Amino acid sequence: MSLKSKVTGLILAGGRGTRMGRVDKGLQPFRGSTLVEHVMRRLAPQAAGIVINANRNLPQYQAVAGEAPVLPDYLDGFEGPLAGLQIGLQYCPTELLLTAPCDSPFLPADLAERLHAAMQAQDADVALAVTMESEDGGEPQRQLHPVFALLKASLLPQLDAYLATGARRMESWYKSLRVAEVMFDDADAFRNINTLAELQQHERLQAPTPPVAASAAAAPATAGATDPARAAPAAEGEATAAATATADAMPVAEAQRIICERMTPIAATETLPLRAALDRVLAEDIVSPINVPAYDNSAMDGYALRGADLPAAGAPDATFKVIGIAYAGRPCTQAPQAGECIRIMTGAAIPPGCDSVLPQELAAHIGADTVTIAHGAIRPGANRRFAGEDLKAGGIALAKGKILRPADLGLVASLGIGEVAVQRKLRVAFFSTGDELRSLGDSLDEGCVYDSNRYTLFGMLTRLGCEIIDMGIVRDDPAALEAALREASAQADAIITSGGVSEGAADYTRDILARIGDVAFWKLAMRPGRPLAFGQIRTEAGSAWLFGLPGNPVAVMVSFYLFARPALLRMMGAQSALPMMQARCTEAIRKRPGRTEYQRGIISAGAGGEPQVRLTGAQGSGILRSMTEANCIVVLREAQASVAAGEMVDVLLFDGLV
Ligand SMILES: Nc1nc2c(c(=O)[nH]1)N[C@H]1C(S)=C(S)[C@@H](COP(=O)(O)OP(=O)(O)OC[C@H]3O[C@@H](n4cnc5c(N)ncnc54)[C@H](O)[C@@H]3O)O[C@H]1N2
Ligand code: MOO
Ligand SMILES: [Mg+2]
């Protein structure tokens, strides 16, 4: 397994930017793009995927992040880089997490490799970069760079526990871990840009480079490993891509950026009883009114005692007298003295003075009212669940924008809260266009097909939690189509149509959109789903966003997945990036550079457990079977050429949508 496939890159962009006059550092323009995009370019070749931690301007970050998720801190209130690290570790789908700040556009191309080598050699939990730096011409000093780190993802519980103590300093946390330090010669590679003046100075030093494609984060195969700022014209693959891309077809990432920029969340909310809020979008943070659990309690059935009374190494077994019994819901208020203990059940409050619980099966002997314990049976403090270890009173239990899943309902219930404020449901009208379409129950005349798109759209919109308005089939007739679009815009927040967006003699959607609204784009450098008319309809009766999806049944689903889904979620006020991972492709795939291709795949565990993916067979955009057999989409990036069997490819998981 390659190192890259084990690493997730975390860009820390969650700070207040105090020294930059509180501007959002990562989004500052720099050499033709933004600082964060430069860091993405640098990390992408070193990681299977990227995640960005940001606490402000999330839509703007999402616009440049492409398919990489943008996640705010789990802790409230700009708590510093450790809080960013916490959310990074919570997200991290791989074994290792590589961190870098958003203002370090020159970070080394071999950062992951060198940190990993040291981590392995020293059997460390964390590897950190170190350089020698002299201030004002003085003696060079060792300078530790704690935000340039490679960490084991398994460190999350330790970090959670450390943050729960209220501590926030990165260096102090590292002190509790096995750390490997790696000396890098090029101190400049770790320079971060702190002030606007420094930014301008760096900007002047080098010529601008072309903007970074937003998909760079998830396009490791094509992103350059050299410094995009100091090097070099576009890589060969990129040049080929530019040459072969259809002149007026828009790249996928650009289209996603436009959609993301134009969409704003709807304002209306409603308050619902907890169960009715399943799958709805939370409209306000839920602040915990209590500690959960509310009191220290036992994780085991056994005996509660004072850890200091446990027998020391070499001492004989200790016998404790059982002086009381504690049940869940029926606390025992007796405080054991030396040599005494309380029989306790799981979930019962820890009796006064006790701090440890011996699970009954670990006792050396259990008598009528005694229990005997050998040295080493448990450590002092064992099996005690702390008050507030699940949720702290006053902390944010669930953040606004969360789609409430079963676990969330349980969490809210654990706080004793019975009603929640949610966003009102988004109203989405949809219809199919085409003279050849027949509804279920009709006979299938010659040259006709049954309307399947309305069923896939019904399913996808319902799963997304929208209120749907099914407007049936509309004929290939401009007047009928315009009337349907006008009617839909009077009722709905968004309209989804299928068919009639290409260049045929019976394709009218785009022209009508241009007449009664505006067309933001209509042709994309992708397959399937090349024609897609996106824009806003504005009539006297109302306005609505239109997603004119292509007619081919697979194209409808893929375009919905990539464009309509994120847009609708954004209007719903929700954040929900699709899970993206890498898998080894078991077969060769033919592909020409210049457009992004989405091939239907089946992902499974290969020998040795690592993910592998194969295609579902014929990939025509009319072959809906390819979609029902698939459990993922293989994403072949715009600049990418054919893939050889055994190569790693990006894979987008369906996440219950299809
Ligand atoms: N000269 C060109 N022709 C086409 C191009 C092109 O760039 N130049 N693009 C092709 C691509 S790619 C696609 S995708 C389709 C998109 O076509 P339309 O959006 O105009 O859709 P229609 O022409 O109405 O239908 C296409 C195809 O899909 C079937 N269809 C439509 N609606 C449904 C439905 N509700 N249920 C089931 N099947 C449906 C329809 O019968 C057609 O077979 O254009 C290409 N052509
Ligand atoms: O790209 Mo078209 O959208 O299905 O073949
Ligand atoms: Mg057509």
Interstrand relation of 427-433 and 494-498 (parallel, antiparallel or unpaired):
parallel
Considering the domain boundaries, does residue 239 fall inside one? no
375 and 398, same structural domain?
A: no
Considering the domain boundaries, does residue 260 fall inside one? no
d(CA 605, CA 611): 5
Ligand 1 touching residue 498 (CB < 6 A): yes
Residue with tokens 């409430």: 404
Ligand 2 touching residue 402 (CB < 6 A): no
592 and 466, same structural domain?
A: no
Instruction: Name the closest ligand to CA 438.
Output: 1
**pLDDT at position 18:** 67
Q: What is the largest CA-CA distance in the chain?
A: 94
Domain with 320 in it: what CATH number?
Answer: 2.170.190.11
Q: Hey, whose CA ends up nearest to atom 3 of ligand 2?
A: 529
SS3 of 542, please? strand
53 is in an annotated binding site: yes
Domain with 405 in it: what CATH number?
Answer: 3.90.105.10
Tell which of 571, 591, 609 closes a domain.
571
**pLDDT at position 211:** 33
Please tell me the distance between residue 650's alpha carbon and the centre of ligand 2 in angstroms: 20
365 and 355, same structural domain?
A: yes
12 is in an annotated binding site: yes
Domain range for 405? 269-292+390-423
Please tell me the distance between residue 217's alpha carbon and the centre of ligand 1 in angstroms: 32
Please tell me the distance between residue 557's alpha carbon and the centre of ligand 2 in angstroms: 11
**pLDDT at position 273:** 97
Q: Hey, whose CA ends up nearest to atom 1 of ligand 2?
A: 528
Question: Which residue type sits at 447?
Answer: G
591 and 558, same structural domain?
A: no
Q: Hey, whose CA ends up nearest to atom 7 of ligand 1?
A: 502
Considering the domain boundaries, does residue 248 fall inside one? no
Ligand 1 touching residue 499 (CB < 6 A): yes
169 and 34, same structural domain?
A: yes
**pLDDT at position 261:** 82
44 and 137, same structural domain?
A: yes
Domain with 509 in it: what CATH number?
Answer: 3.40.980.10
367 and 409, same structural domain?
A: no
pLDDT digits (tens, 9 = 90+) for 214-231: 333 333 333 333 333 332
Domain with 142 in it: what CATH number?
Answer: 3.90.550.10
Please tell me the distance between residue 501's alpha carbon and the centre of ligand 3 in angstroms: 6
**pLDDT at position 235:** 29
Ligand 2 touching residue 499 (CB < 6 A): no
pTM for the whole structure: 0.65
Q: Is 457:556 a contact under the CB 8 Å cutoff?
A: yes
Ligand 2 touching residue 595 (CB < 6 A): no
456 and 371, same structural domain?
A: no
Q: Is 396:76 a contact under the CB 8 Å cutoff?
A: yes
Instruction: Name the closest ligand to CA 558.
Output: 2
pLDDT digits (tens, 9 = 90+) for 306-344: 999 999 999 999 999 999 999 999 999 999 999 999 999
Considering the domain boundaries, does residue 333 fall inside one? yes
Considering the domain boundaries, does residue 519 fall inside one? yes
**pLDDT at position 258:** 87
What is the number of other CB atoms lying within 10 angstroms of the CB of residue 444? Answer: 9
Tell which of 534, 549, 571 closes a domain.
571
**pLDDT at position 224:** 31
274 and 209, same structural domain?
A: no
592 and 537, same structural domain?
A: no
Residue with tokens 């550079």: 593
**pLDDT at position 236:** 26
**pLDDT at position 588:** 96
Task: Give me the number of domains the chain comprises.
Answer: 5
193 and 58, same structural domain?
A: yes
Considering the domain boundaries, does residue 539 fall inside one? yes
Sites in the chain below the pLDDT cut of 50: 206-246, 658
Considering the domain boundaries, does residue 482 fall inside one? yes
Considering the domain boundaries, does residue 347 fall inside one? yes
ipTM: 0.96
Please tell me the distance between residue 635's alpha carbon and the centre of ligand 3 in angstroms: 25
560 and 466, same structural domain?
A: yes
Tell which of 365, 385, 405 closes a domain.
385
Ligand 2 touching residue 38 (CB < 6 A): no
Check whether the bond before 528 is cis (ω within 30° of 0): yes
